[in-house]
A and B are shown apart, each in its own frame.
Chain A
Amino acid sequence: MKVTLKIKRFNPEKDEKPWWAEYTVEAEPTDRLLDALNAIKWYQDGTLSFRRSCMHGVCGSDAMLINGSNALACKVLLKNLGENIKVEPMRGFRVARDLMVDLEPFFDKYKQVKPYFITHSVTPEKERQQSPAERERFDDTTKCILCGACTTSCPSFWANPEYIGPAAIVNAHRFVFDSRDEGREERLEILNHRDGVWRCRTIFNCVEACPRGINVTRAIGEVKKALMFRKL
């Protein structure tokens, strides 16, 4: 099949504002969008820039705005996108070049929630044990690959870049509900800030955008509930 890709391009060193480039690629319907982007980069226009690494939906490098929705270019098939495809960088972050956005602020927010185990008790001789049910409690939020699709699909985040964002909350959730972690209080305190979970307006864009199928809004809701029952 022949597909036409309209790609929003921007080189801050050369361009005053973003512009649309159009490319036509011959591809199989079962090819991924990433294959089409690679075909352009390798055979038509080497200046096109985008991130990709594992190309199997695990590393989270190639999240972008595809036909108006955030998705991983390596996970969507061309047959599901039609013959005219629009590709843009994710919204809300500074465009570093073409489809690459500056993710520094994204990872700064991620670091804010202390995404690592915090323990104060004496280290046990063997491992810290956990029952399958306790592990199940936060299973959904362990799936996050930090691609940024949820945060950059969130209107609250577009409106206020200070909002900590769904991705950081998901990663805080992963530790807040982990029975082995002892940093619950300090993490919840960070999320209780006015730019924390309370900026979430339950719009559900994050749930639709997540390529890992994480129920992000539910995770945020659970953090809100945890905060509420802690105070009341």
Chain B
Amino acid sequence: MELYAWLFMRVSGIVLLFLALGHLLIMHVIHNVETIDYHFVAHRFMTPFWRTYDLVMLWLALLHGLNGARTLIEDYVGVRGWRVFSLASLYILGFIFLALGSLVILTFQPVGG
């Protein structure tokens, strides 16, 4: 199990490097932050490509961060009760964010053109 977690961190890290750089380039270099509004995002989400791009980035970034936090908790929270509590909170929070984010990306319908 730890092996797969370790491997996931490496692979997701490399993929995220490109995804996040791409994201940064589009959102902050090519387009000015001030020009990014609802219409910009709605227009982007018309194509399945950008939905997939954002969905992959959401899953990889969130799971990558969660696994990092899990590692920290396992290393530094020595008391068993606190460890179980911290890990449970982390997993519940992670699941909520993952579900909410995915729901938005997958079911988004532009309103008002």
Interface, chain A (partner B; CB < 8 A): 156, 159-160, 192, 194, 196, 198-199, 201, 224, 227-228, 231
Contact residue among A159, A198, A227 (Cβ-Cβ distance under 8 Å from B76): A159
Secondary structure type dominating chain B contacts: helix
In the complex, are the beta carbons of B2 and A194 less than 8 A apart? yes
Docked CA distance A231–B4 (Å): 10
Secondary structure type dominating chain A contacts: helix
Q: For residue B7, which residue of chain A has the nearest CB?
A: A228
Q: Kindly list chain B residues whose C-beta atoms are within 8 Å of the C-beta of A196.
A: 2
Contact residue among B1, B3, B74, B76 (Cβ-Cβ distance under 8 Å from A228): B3
Number of B interface residues in the complex (CB < 8 A): 10
Q: For residue A155, which residue of chain B has the nearest CB?
A: B75
> Can you spell out 16 A-B residue pairs with CB atoms less than 8 angstroms apart?
A159-B75, A159-B76, A160-B74, A160-B75, A192-B2, A192-B3, A194-B2, A198-B2, A198-B3, A198-B5, A198-B6, A201-B71, A201-B75, A228-B3, A228-B7, A231-B3
With A199-B75, A228-B6 already in contact, 20 other A-B pairs whose C-beta atoms are closer than 8 Å: A156-B75, A159-B75, A159-B76, A160-B74, A160-B75, A192-B2, A192-B3, A194-B1, A194-B2, A196-B2, A198-B2, A198-B3, A198-B5, A198-B6, A201-B71, A201-B75, A224-B6, A227-B3, A228-B7, A231-B3
Docked CA distance A224–B7 (Å): 10
Q: For residue A230, which residue of chain B has the nearest CB?
A: B3
Docked CA distance A194–B76 (Å): 15
Docked CA distance A199–B7 (Å): 13
Docked CA distance A201–B70 (Å): 13
Q: Kindly list chain A residues whose C-beta atoms are within 8 Å of the C-beta of B75.
A: 156, 159-160, 199, 201
Question: Could you mark each residue 1-39 of chain B with 1 if its beta carbon is under 8 Å from any beta carbon of chain A, else 0?
Answer: 111011100000000000000000000000000000000
Q: Kindly list chain B residues whose C-beta atoms are within 8 Å of the C-beta of A192.
A: 2-3
A192 CB to nearest chain B CB (Å): 6
Q: For residue B5, which residue of chain A has the nearest CB?
A: A198
B12 CB to nearest chain A CB (Å): 15
Q: Kindly list chain B residues whose C-beta atoms are within 8 Å of the C-beta of A231.
A: 3
Chain A to chain B: the 6 pairs with minimum beta-carbon distance, closest first:
A198-B2, A159-B75, A194-B2, A159-B76, A198-B6, A227-B3
Q: For residue B75, which residue of chain A has the nearest CB?
A: A159
Docked CA distance A88–B53 (Å): 53
